[in-house]
Amino acid sequence: MSSAELELPAQAPGSFRDPAGRLYRLPDRILRTVKAEHAGQLERFLASATARKAVEAGTLVGSRRIAASECPEIHFEDDSAIWEHDKIAFPSFPYEWPPEMLASAAALTLDLAENALKEGFGLKDATPYNILFRGPRPVFIDVLSFEPRDPLDSTWLAYAQFVRTFLLPLIANRHFGLSLDRVFAGQRDGLEPEILYQWAGFWRRLMPGFFGLVTLPKWLGSAEPASYHRKPAASPEQARFILSGLLRSCRRQLNSVKPRSGRDSVWSGYLDHKSLYSEAQLAQKERFVRECMEVAAPGRVLDAGANEGRFSLLAARNGASVVAIDTDPVVVGSIWRAARREDLPVLPLVVDLTRPTPAVGWRNQECPSFLERARGSFDLVMMLAVIHHILITERIPLEDLVGLADELSREYLLVEFVAPADAMFQRIVRGRDHLYSGMSPEWFEAAVLTRFEMVRSERIGGMHRWLYLLRKRRAAT
């Protein structure tokens, strides 16, 4: 191994898949090397109106060309050009998204493809792995996906990929309830029409939308009809007309398969009509959380067990950038809609803290695990009305849970302790009260105070629930 190889930082997820260049992660920087023969076309794209407007709107990652002297810690062997990209605070992957976010990423992909077409550029691949989210808003990050197109070329070779990785997963979720983690965690390239065809009954195979995307490709014996292969048009105008029509068709298909609003699940509407809190008790909890935000003044917050994001949104309204996680895709989707509506910096993800997203991809290095991305990334971690579920349902020892909170938080922990006498505790304990009889506020405090110090605490009036704001002991010294 050469000294240059030893000095290079880690390649970013999926960077080796594009032969035109590679992406590298430094602790605070994202660098892209581009082979000399591709550097000129990247410069032309980034100088285009499409790219400039998208960067200004925040939908395309900001990029600037730099000299090798601006990154002296790295020695590059070849004559590759170097670009530095804006860093997205918390990267996420399609298998952590609710379907609403996949649909949003698909819409951005079509927006950019349509705008680039007008300036003579084509989008050579169309996968959700080209997208990260800044809060609830998608950001296209793979600038090498754009290339000059042949003016007579009327095909979009990325169409089949767009169908497999955007449209068919959304169909599978809408019609069969298949979650995105089951699609992408084991199948990076999405779904084939044949799979959905096998799941569907006779009448569903004939439904509009389903027929064109699933049944017809199955009957034709290929997911990629002959129209996907390059075929020159009679004129540049005709080629643009055909491609524009295809992209408009993709948008109609997307609109027909995107998730419906108002979906229900076990945990949707919990604080509105399923919880045990009275209006006054919920107001007390909100006041406590708001006061804690003023004391801690966190820049970045992790809300674990966020439900529909009431407190995630509260934290964001108080100036924090929030990652909100929950196991229920329906409630996570509702957080995304609310954050998008208010334009709040909340990134909602479908993540189970007791079974966090593992590292996946080639050699388990393409996509880092959730914990690898999350450790030490947050000024404050919120665990409100969730630890009793972890302790009882998952049987995670309290000391282990406190240790994880210590790893995730740089400074503060905001937690709600639910005692065995609580009605919700009784619902989930299912007659095994004797196993948890020792769980008292004193028992809880003794465990958390091994790693944290008390800042403030308060019992919710009329409930067997206590709220705590805690600060890491080593952060206090």
Global pTM?
0.90
Fold: same for 94-257 and 270-476? no
- Model confidence at 248: pLDDT above 50: yes
163-215, pLDDT tens digit by residue?
Answer: 999 999 999 999 899 999 999 977 889 999 999 999 988 888 898 888 889 99
What is the number of other CB atoms lying within 10 angstroms of the CB of residue 117?
Answer: 19
**Radius of gyration over every alpha carbon of the chain, rounded to an integer in angstroms:** 25
Mean pLDDT of 326-337: 95
- CATH fold of the domain at 94-257: Transferase(Phosphotransferase); domain 1 (1.10.510)
Distance CA 402, CA 407 (A): 9
**pLDDT for res 24:** 83
Query: Can you name the residues that pair with 471 across neighbouring β-strands?
Result: 412, 453
Distance CA 338, CA 345 (A): 11
415-447, pLDDT tens digit by residue?
Answer: 999 988 888 888 877 767 767 778 899 999 999
Which of 110-114, 119-123, 218-222, 259-263 is predicted with the least confidence, judged by mean pLDDT?
Answer: 259-263
- Model confidence at 298: pLDDT above 60: yes
5-17, pLDDT tens digit by residue?
Answer: 334 455 554 556 6
Domain boundaries defined on the chain: 3-85, 94-257, 270-476
What is the number of other CB atoms lying within 10 angstroms of the CB of residue 72?
Answer: 7
Phi, then psi, of 367 in degrees rounded to 5:
-125, 110
- Model confidence at 477: pLDDT above 80: no
**pLDDT for res 275:** 63
- Report which of 159, 150, 154 is spatially closest to residue 110, judged by C-alpha positions: 159
**pLDDT for res 10:** 57
End-to-end CA distance of the chain: 43
- Model confidence at 3: pLDDT above 70: no
Top-confidence range, 62-76, 189-203, 443-457: 443-457
With a pLDDT cut of 90, the percent of the chain lying above it is 66
What does 15-78 look like in DSSP terms, one character per residue? Answer: GGG-TTEEEEE-SS-EEEEE-HHHHHHHHHHHHSHHHHHHHHHTSB--EEEE-GGG-TT---SS
Contact, 9 vs 24, CB < 8 A?
A: yes
Give the Cα-Cα-Cα angle 139, 141, 145 (nearest 5 degrees): 125
Phi, then psi, of 393 in degrees rounded to 5:
-70, -40
Phi, then psi, of 468 in degrees rounded to 5:
-135, 135
Three-state secondary structure call for residue 367: strand
Q: Which CATH superfamily is domain 270-476 in?
A: Vaccinia Virus protein VP39 (3.40.50.150)
Torsion of CA 226, 213, 102, 250, to 10 degrees: 60
